[in-house]
Amino acid sequence: MQDILFSPFSIGKVRLDNRIVMAPMTRNRSPGGVPNDAVIAYYRRRAEAGVGLIVTEGVGIQHGSALGGGSMKERDVPFLYGDAALAGWRAVVDAVHGAGGRIFPQLWHMGPIREDGTGPYPQVPSSRPSGLWGPAGRRSTVPDDYVARVLPERKAMTDGEIADVIAAFADAARNAVLTGFDGIAIHGAHGYLIDSFLWAETNRRNDRWGGDLAGRSAFAAAVVSAIRGAVGGDVPIMFRFSQWKQQDYQALLARTPGELETMLRPLVDAGVDIFDASTRKFDMPAFDGSDLTLAGWARQLTGLPAMAVGGVGLDRDLYGSYAAGGSAGIDNLAGVRRRMTAGEFDLIGVGRALIADPQWARKAERGESFLPFDPATVRNLV
């Protein structure tokens, strides 16, 4: 019987050779925002080694406050605008396609996580739904000195500023299709701009962009709808969401399955094709009283395919691996296969383990041991 991990899967009209997805992980390796030969080789190696779908690192949309310093270094994050960057991405896409792979760019706006006065446009203030970075004193994933700088309240976004960001997402998606990407991934997680509209701690608005959970979903739905209008009906759209935030690692957007459905349903109606549920551990139950994961609930509640991600191939979650200085490579794929066979989720995202080892997918297929993850060297790995 065929291993379900290595069975084909289709997202709309895009056929994947297997269920292993390279999850997006920022590396800051595109000088001046332009992917170079090293970036081309980096993605090609994973495609050559059998990854079914590559979701790129976060790629900046053309908006003044989309990128900058903050919880990470601001240098060398790639763009998805301008002739040089688009030519660089076209070479990446061609290399991945030449190796038999498929690739989506992850469209990204940092929102509250960006620090004022940084990035390509330091004069542009950072974008925050209600002027809030997040609550103080929570278990965050970012340095204390950074929190001290960004915690003071800023100006809330105006309707015009919100419209500009939505348009910039649509323009980036249009560029992605013209460049040859197979689909679009949207970063709606981890405390960045879209997620900050979803989260009650950072969205205190009482207009059409705020209020209850359905109201807080309006911005995300508007972004999806604009992208759908820009790319047409045949280009698949993946939407990443999370409970945890960089501001609060134990945050909850939805406390019940009903709340989760309230949040996700507008995104389905707007045109999402598949959900990417980013969690600390892929097999962690999402709600009390059930073993079902966040990806499992997303699939059950919406009827759309879902991807699970978190700790695949490693012995520690994201927070734990950085706190401990690394993670050992382990084979925890039996649980992935069991849940996938049961129909809980359709794809499995592999981040740190696949960055640490380009041959990870081949090793998984052969039952070979995996390399450890070392956060001190992750941005230098090829």
What span, in angstroms and rounded, lies between the C-alpha atoms of 112 and 197? Answer: 10
For the question of residue 192 being annotated catalytic, the response is: yes
Phi, psi of 230, rounded to the nearest 5 degrees = -75, -35
Among 146, 192, 319, 322, the one annotated catalytic: 192
Q: Provide the CB-side half-sphere exposure for 358 (13 A, CA).
A: 12
How far is residue 10 CA from its own chain's centroid?
20
What span, in angstroms and rounded, lies between the C-alpha atoms of 121 and 124? Answer: 6
Q: b/e map of 286-305 (b: 16 or more CB within 10 Å)?
A: bbeeeebbbbbbbbbbbebb
Q: Are the beta carbons of 318 and 26 closer than 8 angstroms?
A: no
What span, in angstroms and rounded, lies between the C-alpha atoms of 152 and 134? Answer: 9
Question: CB 341: neighbour CB atoms within 10 A?
Answer: 10
- Relative to beta strand 14-16, strand 9-11 is antiparallel
Q: Compute CA distances 132 → 41, 247, 335, 375, whole Å.
A: 39, 11, 39, 29
Q: Are the beta carbons of 77 and 25 closer than 8 angstroms?
A: no
- Which residue numbers are catalytic? 192
